[in-house]
Structure 1
Amino acid sequence: MPPIIRFDQVSVTAHEKTLLANISFRLFAGEKAVLCGKSGSGKSSVLRTLLGLHPLKSGMVYFQENPLTPESVQSIRSCTAYIGQEPILGAENVREALLLPFQFKIHRGHQPTEAQLIEVLQRLQLPENILDQDSNRISGGEKQRIALARGMLLGKKLYLLDEVTSALDADSKQVVFDVFSDPQLTVLSVAHDPEWLERCDIIFELEAGRLTEVRRHGNT
């Protein structure tokens, strides 16, 4: 089975600064991987490069073994849910934020029912009445779970997560752990949380834009 994501000697620069230097790794469907390292080591740059937000200086990124190009980048974006530390919900209230993607042509006709909205909220331990709350009045942890709920409603199978547990309490964190234990979901994440690292199959250590170590869960 070919990898879902493959970086082949990828280098990225911005404003004459090296963000990534000769990065190579593979991630297969269903695997959970985490990028670790000090601030500025290139962790978030890997995610942004995969989304086509950084042009490549050299090397190639492959998604499902197809080269990532300006023309093909939409294919990975359509399959991917990106959730950052402070997600932008893009709507006045939570209900509108959850339904926003279904206004676009690719998802039109697949709008979830009220029962489906409530079901996904309950799964993420969010109250039903949050649907009518203003997006700018909910907490960072709630925004992260709303962004995750949106990905779940869209049926996303690939998740790019940037410190997704940073604003969560212990109970909410466990809920997120349970969601991503699904073997059908592939995860590439940035995290420092030891509990999150413990649950990942692969740990990629980065330093100054270079991949310095790859560890599989249970191995040193």
Structure 2
Amino acid sequence: MLDDFKQIGKEALEDLRKVQDIESLEQWRIKYLSRKGRITQMLSRISEFSPEEKPLAGQLANKVKKEVTAAFETIRETLGSRRPAAEFFDVTLPGERARIGRPHVITQTLNELLDIFGRMGFAVAYGPEVEDEWHNFVALNIPREHPARDPADNFYIDDNTLLRSQTSTIQIRVMERTRPPIRIVAPGRVYRPDTVDATHMFMFHQLEALVVDEAVTMVDMKTTIEQ
């Protein structure tokens, strides 16, 4: 029976030398090293030996298993380090250019308009999108009974706070903290509960210009628009 152990080890190593790829190596592992493999079955047969032969049988079985397992690990590392030709990567090749997308058409339009106003001497001013009634209505001479202040036509957060319905709020904030002359353009999102369709949205963009100075007339506004 000890010769059987040696024969199993010999056959295992011979079959292992024939392995050429990971798939066949896995088949070999199942045949010899799995729970029902030949090496495992060999170890379970040690109990069949007489008490005098068991030590020798155990030593031989463990030696065979150790040699076969070591050979298996060596082959597995060798095959694992091989890269198929199709996966070869040339590190000297230039990298692929990342696709970063493009600005939205609204962003492009706003940038173009701001560039035009900038060349005419306008500064860009921004303001909060969550406003109080003072800046959104009162300071713009919109009285409480005005239809524009109807709660159904605005996004109120509480009795005195709402999402701004116009970028004119930015004009008020600029005039509160800046002495004339003032020459600004105010872009931004505004919010009104309109029914969504092809031409309406509950959020849209506005762009307003404000000039506060001496000797400014409608002629200046007309000239600015024409430019």
TM-score by length of 2: 0.21
Query: Which of 1 and 2 has greater Rg?
Result: 2
Larger RCO: Structure 1 or Structure 2 (Cα < 8 Å, ≥ 6 residues apart)? Answer: 1
Q: Which is richer in strand?
A: 1
| Between structures 1 and 2, the one with greater helix share | 2
